[in-house]
Structure 1
Amino acid sequence: MQQKVTRYAGATFTQVILAGYTVLALFPIVLIVINAFKNRAAIFDSPLALPNSESWSLIGFEKAMKNAHFFSFFGNSAIVTVTSLALILFFGAMAAWALSEYKFRGSRWLMAFFAFGIMVPIRLGTVSILKIMVSLDLVNTLTALVLVYVAQGLPLAIMILSEFMQQIPKELKEAARCDGVGEFKIFFQVILPLIRPAVATVAVFTMVPIWNDLWFPLILAPGEETQTITLGVQQFIGQYATDWNAVLASLSLAVLPVLVLYMFFSRQLIRGITAGAVK
């Protein structure tokens, strides 16, 4: 009886902690969204209140939509994020397959090198990265951002995918080889379908930092034609005055792609996280 009470108390405590963390994580997003639909006076007078008939306003969205470059900023973010995500998943899966399936001299050192890439923030090399992009004449191009984000996301993708690939039974792969199936077909037709939860996990964990990043767009692509949505929002922030309606509306629209991605991959994401926890 005492053990049951202890387990129930422990489970309750865990749920309370998780619920508190959920509220803490969602509070800034909810605050941005509800204030995006209020007029300027209501934002400052009652920022925690929900919009009502007196405070309701879409002026922020109207200003954002009327901005000639807003959709261009949104498109730049979409291009950079989708391209980077596709390259990270493709090359990360192939590298993870090679490291988990084929043992060769130096494979452990190579895996340690990728693990080191997770521990060291890529922003520490900002100056060197900027010098490289200047020498390659890639400043103020979306290509520069894609290259940086691919280098940033590959270590984590390789580590997660390789761990999942190592759990696939060897008998399944050997049976495919005995049937005359080539290595490429084994990889694309057997391995990838089995690691879909891991791929979804990597996709979500990779997309969010890329989409929300402000550091590298500000340094590598600050030009008007290459600004991303997070950098483009800064134009509504002035030295002496800030258009908070437009800022909050733009940020609310910028959150939508992340929410859509989570809705599509939530089941696979949860499966990937729980599978990783069991392993």
Structure 2
Amino acid sequence: MTATLDTVAVTTGKRRRELPTRRRPRTTGGGIAASVFLWIYAFIAIAPLLLMVSNSLRTMPDMAANPLGLPLPPNFASYQKAWVTASFETYFLNSIMVTVGSVLLSTAVSLLAAYAFARTRSRMFTALEGVFLSGLMLPVYLAILPLFYLLDSAGMTSNLLSLILVYGALGIPFSTFVLSSFFRQLPIELDEAARLDGAGSFTTFWRVHLPLVRPAIATVIVFRFVPVWNDFFYPLILIRDQTKYTLPVGITRFFGEYQTDWATLFAGLTLATIPLVVLFLIATKQIVSGLTAGMSK
């Protein structure tokens, strides 16, 4: 009996030792080169931002003496000057209102349109979807002249609502294209199960499909937020009142004809960059899920 137990123990020990162990993937030369390249690219991309933040914490004499120096000690007077004296607070709030309003408008309309296009099979909806997507092929700046005359005749120039409507309309084709692709990936069995439970079309959309396309919604919001926040063209053409300027147009007032307060300018640019950084940090996980959806089964 003892010999049998010893044999089993030895055999079990051998089997345990023979079990395959998980090996770490070997790092090849190509992987090392790709990592080095990505780190170099990241440094090149971040270096201008770090220089901008550093110079925003310095004084003009210090910057003139040593343009690449460090802010020792840091000086926050330029931020106060940009926020209060240079009316940066007004421009910032205008940009928030225009960007958030236009993104919410385009996303809401695109969600309803994309759901209808993805779940309805008819020639009329197919043709209508082609009309929606044709907006991706048209240069938006070619429509500025008739758009300006239209808004001017309606008395909507120098009005933030005009910018919200214009940006919202311009974002619908792209948002509809992305969201309809995600809705088509959802199985039709979800709709059938919802109908068996007595849910209507809107209830199925709101409670079943909408939570499943959150990565796509986050992707659409970020990809529309950034160009609207940074756009310079439409506010310059459609807005005449300086109190209604958005950030890209308002920051141009920091440039002087003979002299420019670079510290205040860099402080304004830093404040304008903060919302974009915060948005990417919050939505990074959803963006990656949205961009990689459907790549693996």
TM-score, normalization by structure 1: 0.89
Give deviations 1:186-241, integer Å, cap 9, x for gaps: 11111110000110011111101111111111111131221112211111112222
- Counterpart of 1:225 in 2: which secondary structure? helix
Tell me the residue number matched to 1:171.
189
Give deviations 1:166-189, integer Å, cap 9, x for gaps: 111111111101211011111111
User: Distance between the aligned counterparts of 2:29 and 2:288, measured in 1?
Assistant: 25
Tell me the residue number matched to 2:177.
159
Q: 1:142 aligns with which of 160, 181, 185?
A: 160
Tell me the residue number matched to 1:51.
71
- Counterpart of 2:156 in 1: which secondary structure? coil
Task: Call closer, same or farther: CA 1:62–1:173 in 2, change over 3 Å.
Answer: same
Structure exhibiting the larger radius of gyration computed from Cα positions? 2
User: Distance between the aligned counterparts of 1:59 and 1:276, measured in 2?
Assistant: 50
Tell me the residue number matched to 2:207.
189
Gaps of 5+ in 2: 1-24
Q: Is the 8 A contact 1:37 1:60 kept in 2?
A: yes
User: Distance between the aligned counterparts of 1:48 and 1:108, measured in 2?
Assistant: 57
User: Distance between the aligned counterparts of 2:127 and 2:29, measured in 1?
Assistant: 45
Deviates more, 1:127-136 or 1:142-151: 127-136
1:68 deviation in Å? Answer: 6.4
Tell me the residue number matched to 2:51.
31
Tell me the residue number matched to 1:95.
113
1:107 deviation in Å? Answer: 3.2
Q: 2:217 aligns with which of 199, 204, 224?
A: 199
- Counterpart of 1:159 in 2: which secondary structure? helix
Q: Is the 8 A contact 2:86 2:254 kept in 1?
A: no
Tell me the residue number matched to 2:128.
110
Task: Call closer, same or farther: CA 1:222–1:85 in 2, change over 3 Å.
Answer: same
Tell me the residue number matched to 1:77.
95
1:47 deviation in Å? Answer: 3.5
Task: Call closer, same or farther: CA 1:17–1:159 in 2, change over 3 Å.
Answer: farther
1:58 deviation in Å? Answer: 2.0
User: Distance between the aligned counterparts of 1:113 and 1:11, measured in 2?
Assistant: 45
User: Distance between the aligned counterparts of 2:129 and 2:101, measured in 1?
Assistant: 25
Tell me the residue number matched to 2:11.
none
- Counterpart of 2:158 in 1: which secondary structure? coil
1:252 deviation in Å? Answer: 0.6
Task: Call closer, same or farther: CA 1:254–1:221 in 2, change over 3 Å.
Answer: same
User: Distance between the aligned counterparts of 2:42 and 2:118, measured in 1?
Assistant: 35
Tell me the residue number matched to 1:253.
271
Give deviations 1:8-55, integer Å, cap 9, x for gaps: 3444444444444433433332222121111113334443433223xx
What letter is aligned with 1:64? A
What letter is aligned with 1:67? T
User: Distance between the aligned counterparts of 2:133 and 2:43, measured in 1?
Assistant: 32
The percent of aligned pairs where both chains have the same amino acid is 37
User: Distance between the aligned counterparts of 2:134 and 2:71, measured in 1?
Assistant: 48
Task: Call closer, same or farther: CA 1:25–1:92 in 2, change over 3 Å.
Answer: farther
Q: Is the 8 A contact 2:94 2:160 kept in 1?
A: yes
What letter is aligned with 1:28? P
